């Protein structure tokens, strides 16, 4: 009797596990499919792309023409470098300033604490693109148009609200006793922040890093408006040169997109171990 119940319970657990995995695998396949199509087609000749877009490249259809075009177009390396500089610099600033603001908001009682927190959180709900015109005017006035600095500043502003919000939630969870023990041992507030608090919120930092990084890397809007000059183009903007009004060099577009995936993938892998901890932090004690 009790064995039966156990068996039913166990088979129910197995069934649930299978169902959950089936759903997750299906979702993964759907999400990866476009990426997969882009990557396989970037290795095919133009004709093959249109004839059989879903087939893998074979001896007959294999072609590296797209990659040749992209690499021959000398600026491509520069675009790549621009994207990397903008993303990494913005990410660093968002994480550093976000963590500092979050520490101040969660650790110190001061007049206007709550108000400041709310003010910073409003940025999550109002898209920064609504302010594009004003931002452009400001950049023109300060002579920052067509510089990477302009992009870095805008992306830092764009990323900060969510970073402050998530990080201060996490920081509130860190025991006061630990910070107080540090104070009694004579650690400065900066050391407490850097040595005691930051390592404990590493998963949260990684989560914020991933959520901040991807929209910046993929953004087409601000590079187009604030920094469209040849020497400041980012990769997403650079790839547009192959899309013409009348003729589009599909080989080159697909090749440049495939290449553009690599750096984010690397950054993502760096953060992902921490990220998994971050996502499950609340759920699994």
Partner 1 sequence: MGSLSLKNIRKSFGNVEVIKGIDLDVKDGELVIFVGPSGCGKSTLLRIIAGLETESTGSIEIDGDPVNGQSPSMRGISMVFQTYALYPHLTVKDNMSLGLKQAKRPKELIEKRVGFASSMLSLDDYLDRRPAELSGGQRQRVAIGRAIVRQPKLFLFDEPLSNLDAALRVNTRLEIASLHRQLSATMVYVTHDQTEAMTLADRIVVLNNGVIEQVGTPMELYNEPKNKFVAGFIGSPQMNFIPASCLKIDDAETIGIRPENILIDGAKADLTGKVSHIEKLGSDTNIYADCADAGLICIRLFGQHDTEVGSDISLHFDRDKMFKFDKNSDTIN
> Taking CB under 8 A as the rule, which mask of x and - marks residues 228-247 in contact with partner 1?
--------------------
Secondary structure in 3-state letters for 4-51: HHHHHHHHHHHHHHHHHHHHHHHHHHHHHHHHHHHHHHHCECHHHHHH
**257/259 Cα distance (integer angstroms):** 5
Closest approach of partner 1 to the CB of residue 186, in Å: 3
User: Cβ distance 171 to 103 under 8 Å?
Assistant: yes
Smallest Cα–Cα separation from 135: which of 163, 157, 162?
Answer: 157
Q: Is 20 in the site for partner 1 (CB under 8 A)?
A: no
Q: Which is nearer to partner 1, 84 or 196 (CB)?
A: 196
Closest distance to partner 1 from the beta carbon of 172 (Å): 15
Closest CB 275 distance from partner 1, rounded Å? 20
At its nearest, how many Å lie between partner 1 and the CB of residue 174?
Answer: 10
Q: Pick between residue 195 and residue 220 the one whose CB is nearest to partner 1.
A: 195
4 vs 185, which CB is nearer to partner 1?
185
60 versus 176: smaller Cβ distance to partner 1: 176
Give least dist CB 101 to partner 1, A.
Answer: 23
Interface residues for partner 1 in 196-225 (CB under 8 A)? 196, 199-200
Q: Between residues 52 and 189, which has the closer beta carbon with respect to partner 1?
A: 189
To partner 1, the closest distance from the beta carbon of 106 in angstroms equals 16
Q: Which is nearer to partner 1, 112 or 186 (CB)?
A: 186
Report the residue number, 198 or 275, with the smaller CB distance to partner 1: 198
Rounded to whole angstroms, what are the CA distances from 98 to 46, 71, 106, 128, 195? 46, 37, 12, 17, 16
Q: Residue count at the site for partner 1 (CB under 8 A)? A: 15
Phi, psi of 59, deg, nearest 5: -50, -35
Question: Pattern 162-201, binding to partner 1, x per CB under 8 A?
Answer: -------------x-xx-xxxxxxxx-------xx--xx-
Locate all alpha helices (DSSP H) within the chain, ordered by sequence. 2-42, 46-51, 65-72, 75-107, 113-125, 132-141, 148-172, 176-184, 189-191, 198-200, 202-218, 221-226, 235-238, 250-280
User: Shortest gap between Cβ of 142 and partner 1 (angstroms)?
Assistant: 41
Q: At its nearest, how many Å lie between partner 1 and the CB of residue 139?
A: 42
Q: Distance (Å, rounded) from C-alpha 105 to C-alpha 166? A: 12
Burial letters 6-35, b for 16+ CB under 10 A, else e:
eeeeeeeeeeeeeeeeeeeeeeeeeeeeee
Give me the long-range contacts of 245-249 (CB less than 8 A, separation at least 24). 249/66, 249/69
* Residues in contact with partner 1 by the rule CB under 8 A: 175, 177-178, 180-187, 195-196, 199-200
């Amino acid at each position: 009797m009790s064995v039966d119940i156990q068996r039913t319970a166990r088979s129910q657990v197995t069934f649930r596990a299978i169902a959950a995995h089936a759903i997750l695998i299906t979702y993964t396949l759907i999400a990866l499919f476009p990426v997969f199509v882009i990557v396989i087609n970037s290795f095919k000749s133009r004709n093959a792309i249109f004839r059989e877009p879903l087939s893998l490249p074979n001896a007959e259809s294999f072609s590296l023409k797209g990659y040749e075009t992209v690499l021959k177009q000398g600026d491509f390396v520069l675009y790549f470098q621009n994207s990397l500089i903008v993303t990494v610099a913005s990410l660093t600033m968002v994480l550093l300033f976000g963590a500092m603001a979050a520490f101040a908001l969660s650790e110190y009682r001061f007049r206007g604490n709550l108000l400041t927190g709310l003010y910073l959180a409003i940025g999550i709900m109002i898209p920064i693109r609504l302010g594009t015109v004003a931002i452009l005017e400001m950049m023109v006035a300060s002579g920052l148009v067509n510089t990477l600095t302009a992009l870095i500043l805008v992306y830092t502003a764009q990323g900060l609200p969510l970073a402050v919000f998530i990080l201060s939630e996490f920081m509130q969870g860190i025991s006061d006793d630990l910070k107080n023990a540090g104070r009694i041992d004579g650690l400065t507030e900066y050391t407490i922040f850097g040595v005691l608090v930051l390592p404990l919120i590493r998963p949260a930092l990684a989560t914020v890093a991933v959520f901040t990084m991807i929209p910046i890397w993929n953004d087409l809007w601000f590079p187009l408006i604030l920094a469209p000059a040849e020497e400041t183009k980012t990769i997403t903007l650079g790839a547009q040169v192959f899309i013409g009004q009348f003729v589009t060099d599909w080989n080159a577009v697909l090749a440049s997109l495939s290449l553009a995936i690599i750096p984010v993938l690397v950054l993502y892998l760096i953060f992902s171990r921490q990220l998994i901890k971050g996502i499950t932090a609340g759920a699994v004690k």
